[in-house]
């Protein structure tokens, strides 16, 4: 039997065995608490600080600008709630309409709760490719803004935002800029100084590291209030005994991601382009979601015209044939057949917004797997949609997807 094909790296990635090897000692004998002053504690502290430097290097930051958190979600919460609470002004967050739930729900909490009374949220629109326009940001910046938060790469459609330009405009207005780089880190080059960002969220499990460990980059001089209170670890911004093994794994994953980024990005973009080309041939009613060029290297989202309601069955047929792909965000309602909020925001109607298939490739995927997938997919689609009426309208096909 053929091994399974995993094309759902935007949901999570397999742990790299080299990362597991680095974590091993800290799941066993090296169990000290980094706050302890004895030998065991010092060993743990040294490992945490080494990992901090490794994570910082991935994004061009200083080690002391990295705050370890329990996840990417928690990093997003700390950035938004922490900035609004620390600010003297009445809270106003400007964000995009296609952010991850970790941002959208935190905004909803801030707007609804007493965390900072009177907090306002502005959701910037995106175009049909999922891009935020600088003009709409400029307009929003005319009012009193505390923080702008725009994701670097979208998890559903893979579109990359022009972060450097958006952050630059934001800085000209003296406003803090946060980016959720959970999907982008390790896949495209990120440098906090070139990007002009003040805050940036990361998550280890999206770059072949362990689950349950994230980080927030906090530029020197930026003032945040904590959201977790206790023993004052992580410069008082994230109290709790550190997840030493997770942090060590994050550091090792960051080193590998940095070393392998250029080669991996080119390799995955080639796979993606080949898949897109083949799909236009074998499934001519397929159409692309997201920007054709400004997108994550190993990420391809598409729909099948006239077969939007069959996505759940196609996923199940692929799963039965040994292939794991998804219908969008692992934490969205899309699995229940609800339209994707991201696609609705991009201007798709409800029908189209139900029909997204997402392929996200990663480090251990091979050419053979791509070839096998290209055989399996049309069969899976045919098995589900046999006899279903198709429209023969011209659709924007996937051939526009260029090498990154
Ligand atoms: N932000 C984005 C863009 C994501 O895709 C995800 C996870 O899918 C998160 C934040 C949340 O990260 P975590 O799973 O570490 O909480």
SS (H, E, C) 40-60: HHHHHHHHHHHHHHHHHHHCC
Three-state SS annotation for 246-293:
HHHHHHHHHHHHHHHHHHHHHHHHHHHHHHHHHHHHHCCCEEEECCCC
Contact 303, 289 (CB under 8 A): yes
Q: 247-281 burial string, b = 16+ CB within 10 Å, else e?
A: bbbbbbbbbbbbeebeebbebbbbbbbebbebbbe
Give the position, in ligand 1's atom list, of the atom nearest the Cα of 329. Answer: 8
77: Cβ below 6 Å to ligand 1?
A: no
Say whether 331 is catalytic: yes
What is the per-residue pLDDT for 304? 95
Q: Which helix (H) or strand (E) holds 301?
A: strand 299-304
User: 331, 344, 374, 376: which one is catalytic?
Assistant: 331
How far is the centre of ligand 1, averaged over its atoms, from the C-alpha of 11 (Å)?
Answer: 8
Residues facing 147 on adjacent strands: 93, 176
Among candidates 369, 278, 279, 363, which has minimal Cα distance to 322? 369
DSSP code string of 8-22: BTTT--PPPHHHHHH
Q: In the numeric block, which tokens belong to residue 367?
A: 């050419």
Angstrom distance (rounded) from CA 153 to CA 371? 27
Angstrom distance (rounded) from CA 363 to CA 347? 33
Q: In the numeric block, which tokens belong to residue 217?
A: 């980059």
How far is the centre of ligand 1, averaged over its atoms, from the C-alpha of 385 (Å)?
Answer: 33
How far is the centre of ligand 1, averaged over its atoms, from the C-alpha of 101 (Å)?
Answer: 8
The beta strand positions in 150-258, using DSSP E, are 176-180, 199-203, 214-218
Q: In the numeric block, which tokens belong to residue 391?
A: 């429209």
End-to-end CA distance of the chain: 34
What is the per-residue pLDDT for 385? 79
Among candidates 323, 326, 319, 320, which has minimal Cα distance to 300? 326
Give the position, in ligand 1's atom list, of the atom nearest the Cα of 12. Answer: 8
What is the per-residue pLDDT for 399? 58
Q: Please, what are the averages of pLDDT over each run of 10 residues along the chain (404 residues)?
A: 93 98 97 98 98 98 98 98 87 96 96 78 98 97 95 98 98 97 98 98 98 98 97 97 98 98 98 96 95 96 93 96 86 64 96 95 98 96 73 53 45
For residue 201, the 8-state DSSP code is: E
- Residue 374 CB coordination number (10 Å): 16
All residues at 6 or more sequence positions from 167 whose CB lies less than 8 Å from its CB, including other chains: 148, 177, 179, 195, 196, 197
115: left (phi over 0), alpha (psi -120 to 50) or beta: alpha
151: Cβ below 6 Å to ligand 1?
A: yes
All residues at 6 or more sequence positions from 40 whose CB lies less than 8 Å from its CB, including other chains: 30, 31, 32, 33
102: Cβ below 6 Å to ligand 1?
A: yes
Angstrom distance (rounded) from CA 317 to CA 319? 5
Angstrom distance (rounded) from CA 388 to CA 307? 8
- Complete edge-to-edge strand list for the sheet that includes strand 66-69: 66-69, 214-218, 199-203, 176-180, 147-149, 92-96, 120-124
355: Cβ below 6 Å to ligand 1?
A: no
All residues at 6 or more sequence positions from 140 whose CB lies less than 8 Å from its CB, including other chains: 94, 122, 124, 148
Considering only CA atoms, which residue is closest to atom 14 of ligand 1?
Answer: 72
Among candidates 285, 288, 289, 327, which has minimal Cα distance to 305? 285
158: Cβ below 6 Å to ligand 1?
A: no
């Amino acid at each position: 039997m053929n091994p399974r094909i995993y094309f759902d790296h935007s949901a999570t990635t397999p742990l790299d065995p080299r990362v597991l090897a680095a974590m091993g000692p800290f799941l066993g004998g090296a169990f000290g608490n980094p706050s302890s002053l004895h030998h065991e504690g010092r060993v743990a502290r040294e490992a945490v600080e080494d990992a901090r430097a490794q994570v910082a290097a991935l994004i061009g930051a200083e080690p002391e600008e990295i705050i370890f958190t329990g996840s990417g979600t928690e990093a997003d919460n700390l950035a938004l709630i922490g900035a609004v609470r620390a600010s003297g002004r009445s809270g106003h967050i400007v964000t995009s309409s296609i952010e991850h739930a970790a941002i959208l729900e935190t905004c909803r909490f801030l707007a609804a709760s007493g965390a900072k009374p009177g907090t306002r949220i502005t959701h910037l629109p995106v175009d049909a490719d999922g891009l935020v326009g600088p003009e709409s940001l400029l307009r929003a910046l005319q009012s009193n803004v505390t923080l702008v938060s725009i994701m670097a790469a979208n998890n559903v459609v893979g579109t990359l935002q022009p972060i450097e330009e958006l952050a630059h405009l934001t800085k000209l207005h003296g406003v803090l800029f946060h980016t959720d780089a959970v999907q982008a880190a390790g896949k495209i080059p990120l440098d906090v100084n070139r990007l002009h960002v003040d805050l940036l969220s990361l998550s280890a499990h999206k770059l072949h590291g362990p689950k349950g460990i994230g980080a927030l980059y906090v530029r020197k001089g930026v003032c945040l209030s904590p959201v977790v209170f206790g023993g004052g670890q992580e410069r008082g911004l994230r109290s709790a005994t550190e997840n030493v093994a997770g942090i060590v794994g994050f550091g090792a994953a960051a080193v590998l991601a940095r070393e392998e980024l250029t080669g991996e990005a080119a390799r995955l973009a080639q796979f993606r382009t080949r898949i897109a080309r083949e799909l236009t041939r074998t499934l001519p009613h397929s159409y692309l979601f997201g920007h054709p060029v400004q997108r994550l290297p190993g990420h391809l989202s598409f729909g099948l015209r006239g077969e939007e309601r069959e996505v759940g069955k196609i996923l199940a047929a692929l799963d039965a044939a040994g292939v794991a792909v998804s219908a969008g965000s692992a934490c969205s309602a899309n699995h229940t057949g609800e339209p994707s909020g991201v696609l609705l925001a991009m201007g798709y109607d409800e029908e189209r917004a139900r029909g997204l298939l997402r392929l996200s490739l990663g480090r251990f995927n091979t050419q053979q797997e791509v070839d096998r997938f290209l055989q399996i997919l049309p069969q899976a689609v045919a098995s589900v949609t046999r006899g279903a009426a198709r429209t023969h309208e011209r659709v924007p096909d996937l051939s526009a997807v260029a090498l990154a």
